[in-house]
């Protein structure tokens, strides 16, 4: 049983004239280049499996970009009616071939807030009125909120910021300290020795 044929994709002369130079341009990113090639091959009549095989891509990837182009047909048509410049059509094509925003929670703390909390951790805790010699994540969270650096923050988030800024160097020296005792060699039963 033959596989179902994908919906045909049609390009206008203006669209093709904007896409084809991207394939030849050395500065085109590989990501954009793949997407442009998918659209051009689909417009030439190749099905998703053929395009995937030719470009070394998964058929689902090809299907995604074909469908994104087809879904934007009305936007492309509207952009083509603006005959004054190619700029509008170019912007629409760029939006179609760009990544969509990824799902997920928005960033809770800005980079500036994180840096301010780390700087706070470098200050003397006793100078800030805490009866401790070193900051703990709980006290840092309380002090950051008190100073207005953040509205509120959990000690766990503070700990994560501080942990993320650590140097990857080991905490123990790699070389033996002068005068340090060497560990004894462990002997297995049956091994000779003096």
Cβ neighbours of residue 157 closer than 8 Å, sequence gap 6 or more: 108, 109, 141
Q: Give one DSSP letter per residue of 114-163, joined into a string.
A: HHHHHHHHHS-TTTTT-S-SS--HHHHHHHHHHTTSSS---HHHHHHHHH
- Mean pLDDT of all residues in the chain? 84
- pLDDT for 64 beyond 90: yes
Domain coordinates of the chain in residue numbers? 13-97, 111-164
| pLDDT at position 194 | 52
Are the CB atoms for 113 and 147 separated by under 8 Å? no
The DSSP output letter for 88 is H
The Cα 161–Cα 152 span in angstroms is 15
pLDDT, one tens digit per residue, over 1-45 is: 566 788 889 999 999 999 999 899 998 899 999 999 999 999 999
pLDDT digits (tens, 9 = 90+) for 98-125: 988 888 888 888 989 999 999 999 999 9
Specify whether the CB–CB gap between 72 and 97 falls below 8 A: no
First and final C-alpha spacing in the chain: 81
Confidence (pTM): 0.55
**Residues 35-51 pLDDT 10s:** 999 999 999 999 999 99
> Residue 66 has what pLDDT?
94
Please give the DSSP secondary-structure letter assigned to residue 189. Answer: T
Tokens for 38?
Answer: 């998918």
Q: What sign does the CA torsion over 131, 132, 138, 141 have?
A: positive
* DSSP tag of 22: H
CB 35: neighbour CB atoms within 10 A?
A: 23
């Amino acid at each position: 049983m033959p596989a179902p044929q994908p919906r045909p994709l049609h390009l206008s002369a203006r669209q093709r004239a904007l896409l084809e130079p991207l394939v030849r341009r050395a500065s085109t990113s590989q990501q954009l280049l793949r997407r442009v090639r998918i659209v051009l091959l689909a417009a030439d009549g190749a099905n998703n499996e053929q395009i995937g095989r030719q470009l070394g891509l998964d058929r689902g990837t090809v299907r995604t970009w074909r469908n994104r182009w087809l879904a934007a047909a009305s936007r492309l048509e509207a952009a083509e009616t603006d005959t004054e410049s190619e700029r509008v059509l170019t912007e629409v094509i760029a939006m179609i071939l760009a990544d969509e925003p990824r799902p997920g929670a928005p960033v809770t703390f800005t980079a500036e807030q994180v840096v301010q909390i780390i700087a706070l951790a470098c200050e003397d805790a006793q100078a800030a009125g805490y009866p401790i010699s070193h900051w703990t994540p709980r006290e840092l969270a309380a002090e950051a909120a008190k100073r207005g650096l953040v509205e509120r923050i959990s000690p766990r988030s503070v700990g994560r910021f501080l942990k993320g800024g650590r140097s990857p160097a080991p905490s123990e020296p790699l070389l033996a300290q002068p005068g340090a005792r060497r560990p004894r060699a462990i002997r297995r039963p049956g091994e000779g020795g003096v």
